[in-house]
Structure 1
């Protein structure tokens, strides 16, 4: 069993943009919290490219071959899925460049994937970046500390484990 920090696990914005509660996401699987609690970041609309960074320190435990999603297990045992866009799996990796491999250790803010937003938008996909807490049975709460514009790496949420 992991010993979780008493104050909670801090999560940072994986990209620059507007931090929103998950209820605002236009996808039933995500907005109904079926996979776990989460928040989203809507990338800046004028950007043609974005670098998606790790929202917390830990180890890359999964990296989809398409580059549209990756999983991190924090040093405290929190399991995080970072999902880039809605329906972007259909792009089959076009426009996604991964920088790390499974097993790599990351710090909060470490670049993981670069995304060509022009290609995402041209494919008709929503470019929102979702941060999902997948070990929901161990998550007591997710508190958004910032629901506004954030820079990549800004502290945006605190997770309480229990």
Structure 2
């Protein structure tokens, strides 16, 4: 079994995935993990793990670790409809990235101005067992978490 430490891609208030106001994420349909409610400012979204940038869209990205763990970072809810507005990418799909490396600049105020929720779900893709994801203390208590701090541990 592999253990993957998944880091917060942005700072803010740590949130249990079940509390994300979108059933696709809160019910674990995409996978299990946690979320971060970012500060209302322009933030730098970083890689939560080291690996290959498997998928890169302006509003979301997936990093695949050497152990085959795919971690999705989704910047805001329903932000795909913005067609990249409010996001600036700094890497290319297929790049090798290291945890903490800048991936996307995320304009949180611009997202809120469009009436969208800026929360950032972070999930292990296709993880069907919630018990395989151990949230950090910050997630359990809803406390502030720094970008790059441990968000949860994934066991596969």
Tell me the TM-score normalized by structure 2.
0.92
Q: Which of 50, 53, 62 is the aligned partner of 2:55?
A: 62
Q: Which residue of 1 aligns with 2:16?
A: 21
Please give the per-residue CA displacement for 1:71-127, whole angstroms capped at 9, x wherever unaligned.
110111101111000011111111100000011111111110001112101001111
Please give the per-residue CA displacement for 1:7-39, whole angstroms capped at 9, x wherever unaligned.
x11011100111111110111111111111121
2:152 partner SS:
strand
Following superposition of structure 1 onto structure 2, how do residues 49-128 of structure 1 map, counting pairs within 5 Å?
A: 49-64=42-57, 67-128=58-119
1:85 partner SS:
coil
Structure 2's unaligned 5+ residue stretches are: none
Structure 1's unaligned 5+ residue stretches are: none
Q: Which residue of 1 aligns with 2:29?
A: 34
CA distance in 2, matches of 1:144, 1:113: 24
Say whether the 8 Å CA contact 2:33–2:122 is kept in structure 1. yes
Alignment: residue pair count: 152
Say whether the 8 Å CA contact 1:139–1:159 is kept in structure 2. no
Q: Which residue of 2 aligns with 1:10?
A: 5
Q: Which residue of 2 aligns with 1:136?
A: 127
Say whether the 8 Å CA contact 1:140–1:159 is kept in structure 2. no
CA distance in 2, matches of 1:22, 1:58: 23
1:55 partner SS:
coil
Tell me the TM-score normalized by structure 1.
0.88
1:10 partner SS:
strand
- Calculate the aligned-residue CA RMSD, in Å: 1.5
1:41 partner SS:
strand
Say whether the 8 Å CA contact 2:17–2:33 is kept in structure 1. yes
Say whether the 8 Å CA contact 1:16–1:152 is kept in structure 2. yes
